[in-house]
């Protein structure tokens, strides 16, 4: 009797409705997940959209900036610098070539009195100039003139000057 009396009250609700309870819980879980997922999706969509839009704008901005700079500044600057360097180099080489060839800079005759010249010790600046053009310092043999100046001293230049002198 006791067992029969105590036994019936336990099962009724759970045993009667466990099916409904479980499915109700599952339904609630489904609703919860649906709502949650909708919110998450909305938030995610907004975040992703914003991020993509921001990235696209940033990429576009940076790309445009780089392209604009390359098209308008960097290439023209680079070409300008290269052209300037090449032109300066060619001009310097040409000036050097002209000086080395000119009799004015290779003749070992005094430009003032026409006397012969003899070589003296170079000054410090002459040595610096010699890094670009081989020069020597010369002094007029005429004691009343005493002209001093630089002359190109390559063997070729001297040979040419001696040939033109002769
Ligand atoms: Zn002289």
Q: What is the tens place of the pLDDT at every residue in 65-117? A: 888 777 776 677 778 888 889 999 999 888 888 888 888 888 889 999 999 99
In a domain, 3, yes or no: yes
30-69 pLDDT tens trace: 777 777 666 777 777 888 888 999 999 998 888 888 887 7
In a domain, 139, yes or no: yes
Q: How far is CA 149 from CA 46, 59, 104, in A?
A: 83, 64, 11
- Residue 120, token pair as written in the block: 């003296």
**How many whole angstroms from 110 Cα to the centroid of ligand 1?**
4
> What is the pTM assigned to this prediction?
0.45
In a domain, 28, yes or no: yes
**How many whole angstroms from 160 Cα to the centroid of ligand 1?**
21
In a domain, 50, yes or no: no
Q: How far is 156 from 164, CA to CA, in rounded Å?
A: 12
**How many whole angstroms from 148 Cα to the centroid of ligand 1?**
8
In a domain, 80, yes or no: no
**How many whole angstroms from 155 Cα to the centroid of ligand 1?**
23
Q: Can you give the residue range of the structural domain that contains 21?
A: 1-41
- Count of helices and strands (H, E) across the chain: 6, 3
In the chain, the number of structural domains is 2
| Residue 160 pLDDT | 53
């Amino acid at each position: 009797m006791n067992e029969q009396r105590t036994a019936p009250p336990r099962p009724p609700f759970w045993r009667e409705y466990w099916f409904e309870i479980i499915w109700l819980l599952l339904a609630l879980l489904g609703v919860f997940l649906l709502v949650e997922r909708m919110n998450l999706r909305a938030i995610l969509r907004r975040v992703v959209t914003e991020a993509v839009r921001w990235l696209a704008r940033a990429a576009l901005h940076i790309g445009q900036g780089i392209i604009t700079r390359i098209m308008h500044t960097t290439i023209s600057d680079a070409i300008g610098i290269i052209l300037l360097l090449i032109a300066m180099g060619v001009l310097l080489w040409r000036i050097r070539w002209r000086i080395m060839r000119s009799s004015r800079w290779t003749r070992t005759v005094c430009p003032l009195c026409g006397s012969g010249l003899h070589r003296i010790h170079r000054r410090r600046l002459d040595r610096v100039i010699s890094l670009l053009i081989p020069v020597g310092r010369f002094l007029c043999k005429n004691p009343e003139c005493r002209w001093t100046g630089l002359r190109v001293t390559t063997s070729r230049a001297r040979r040419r000057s001696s040939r033109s002198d002769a």
